[in-house]
Amino acid sequence: MRSKPSLFDVARDANVSHQTVSRVLNNHNNVRPETKRRVEASVAKLGYNVNISARALATGKYRAIGLLNLNSSLYGPITMNESIQKMALEQHYKINYLTVNSIDNESVINGIGMLFATGVDGILVAVPRSMKEIDLESLKKFKIPIVIRDHSSIPKEVKLNQRMVSAVATDYLISLGHRRIAFAGGEKKWFDAHERMTAWKATMKKANLDYDLLFEGNWSASSGYAMAERIFAEDKKVTAIYAASDLIGLGVLKYLNDGRLKDISVISTDAMQESEFYFPSLTTIKYDYEELGRRYFHLLLNLMSKRPMSVYTSSFQVELSIRDSTHKNKT
**CATH number where 41 lies:** 1.10.260.40
Q: How many domains does the chain have?
A: 3
Q: Do 149 and 166 belong together in one domain?
A: no
Question: Residue 35: pLDDT above 90?
Answer: no
Residue 283 CA to residue 138 CA, distance in Å, equals 43
Of 153, 171, 188, the domain-final residue: 153
Of 153, 178, 199, the domain-final residue? 153
Higher pLDDT among residues 185 and 91, named by residue: 185
Average pLDDT over residues 269-279: 93
In this structure, is residue 297 part of a structural domain? no
**231 and 198 in a common domain:** yes
Any idea what DSSP says for residue 134? P
Asked if residue 242 lies in contact with residue 200, where contact means CB atoms within 8 angstroms, the answer is yes
Range of the domain at 30: 7-49
Last residue of a domain, one of 125, 153, 181: 153
Q: Give pLDDT, residue 70.
A: 86
- Mean pLDDT score of the chain, rounded to an integer? 88
Weakest-pLDDT range from 11-20, 21-30, 171-180, 260-269: 21-30
The answer as to whether 59 is a domain residue is: no
Give the separation between CA 290 and CA 129, rounded to whole angstroms.
Answer: 19
Helical spans, DSSP H, in 26-126: 33-46, 52-59, 75-90, 105-117
Q: What is the DSSP letter of 195?
A: H
For position 1, what pLDDT does the model report?
43
Are 211 and 112 within one domain?
no
Tens digits of residue pLDDT in 56-92: 555 567 889 999 998 888 888 889 999 999 999 888 8
Q: What is the model's pLDDT at position 196?
A: 93
Residue 161 has pLDDT above 60, yes or no: yes
pTM: 0.79
How many Å apart are CA 147 and CA 302, to the nearest integer?
Answer: 11
Q: Looking at the structure, do residues 113 and 182 belong to the same domain, yes or no?
A: no
**Maximum distance among all Cα pairs of the chain, rounded to whole angstroms:** 82
In a domain, 134, yes or no: yes
**Quick check: is 326 in a domain?**
no
